[in-house]
Amino acid sequence: MTFRDAWQRALYGPGGFYRRERPAAHFRTSVHASALFGQAIARLAGQLGLPTVVDIGAGSGELGKVLRDEGLSVLDIELDDDLPAQLSGLVIANEWLDNVPCEVVEWDEDGVPRYLLADLTPGPVVHGNDLLWLEQWWPGGPGDRAEVGRARDEAWQDVIRRLTDGAVAIAIDYGHVRSGRPPYGTLTGFRDGRECSPDPDGSCDITAHVALDSLGGTILSQRDALRALGISASRPPLALAHTEPLRYLSELSSAGEAAELLDPSGLGGFGWVWTAADAATVRRASRALCA
């Protein structure tokens, strides 16, 4: 059994982590950090003229709640839900792909990449499409470790090929691109809000950053995307504290939440990878996301 098989079973098998647990109990995503995130997504849907949002890997549906409050219609997709044959509207996958199990490999002392097994010891030599993927996207040498993004690419392509004219899909995740892969990979676990060893026993979330460039699509940082969509961490003027203290406090709290979403070393450093189904929609999405 490779680590990927063990990862799959630990998260999604019978009694697996995501069969029992609520994501918010273990880690904090943009959706948990602030309703401002969902409001920005709603603004984007409005600018694209899309009344429906499909939320893939919706967790406990926190994003959908904000979007419905903003008047949008929302389809939450979670484990065991089938993706509709056609996806129209704005498709969002926030921190889904990092949880799509993938092969983890390590180059041996001769520079040969080997699959890691469930106990993270080296096993068979990497071959076939996994090897081609590594050569194209994540070359390494003796002692390096990598996560083969092919399973994420395939999961995302399965979404993209369903888009109908006018639709836009955005994968939002922490990740890296070829010019800056982490030499020892990023495989890790989360339990009760703390990072932990990625034990594939169902007791913790297991995650690895996403190779954003191999997904295909246009990449920008969450910081740039949210700023283009009108999120600002500017503090309200102090004078407001004297004239309208309640409004001042509310705007101050909003600015704090915005700062967390925009923080370049935190959520703001996430990548947004977007794809639109047709040329006219590409132009609309470019205008909306590139301020």
Tell me: does residue 59 bind ligand SAM (CB under 6 A).
yes
**By C-beta, is 33 or 240 nearer to ligand SAM?**
33
Binding mask 81-110 for ligand SAM (x = CB under 6 A): -------------xxx--x-----------
In the complex, the smallest distance separating the C-beta of residue 170 from ligand SAM, rounded to whole angstroms, is: 12
Nearest to 224 by CA among 178, 175, 171, 288: 288
Q: Which of 16, 23, 189, 198 binds ligand SAM (CB under 6 A)?
A: 23
**By C-beta, is 7 or 107 nearer to ligand SAM?**
7
Tell me: does residue 225 bind ligand SAM (CB under 6 A).
no
Scanning 73-81, 109-117, 173-181, 266-274 for contacts with ligand SAM by CB under 6 A, the matching segment is: 73-81
In the complex, the smallest distance separating the C-beta of residue 95 from ligand SAM, rounded to whole angstroms, is: 4
Q: Which of 6, 36, 50, 58 binds ligand SAM (CB under 6 A)?
A: 58
Nearest to 83 by CA among 96, 95, 70, 102: 96
In the complex, the smallest distance separating the C-beta of residue 152 from ligand SAM, rounded to whole angstroms, is: 11
Q: Which of 18, 156, 270, 274 binds ligand SAM (CB under 6 A)?
A: 18
**268 burial level (CB within 10 Å; 0-12, 13-18, 19+):** buried
Give the binding-site size for ligand SAM (rule: CB under 6 A).
16
In the complex, the smallest distance separating the C-beta of residue 156 from ligand SAM, rounded to whole angstroms, is: 11
Q: Which of 1, 25, 79, 290 binds ligand SAM (CB under 6 A)?
A: 79
In the complex, the smallest distance separating the C-beta of residue 173 from ligand SAM, rounded to whole angstroms, is: 9
Tell me: does residue 3 bind ligand SAM (CB under 6 A).
no
**By C-beta, is 16 or 140 nearer to ligand SAM?**
16
Residues that bind ligand SAM (CB under 6 A): 18, 23, 29, 31-32, 56-59, 77-79, 94-96, 99
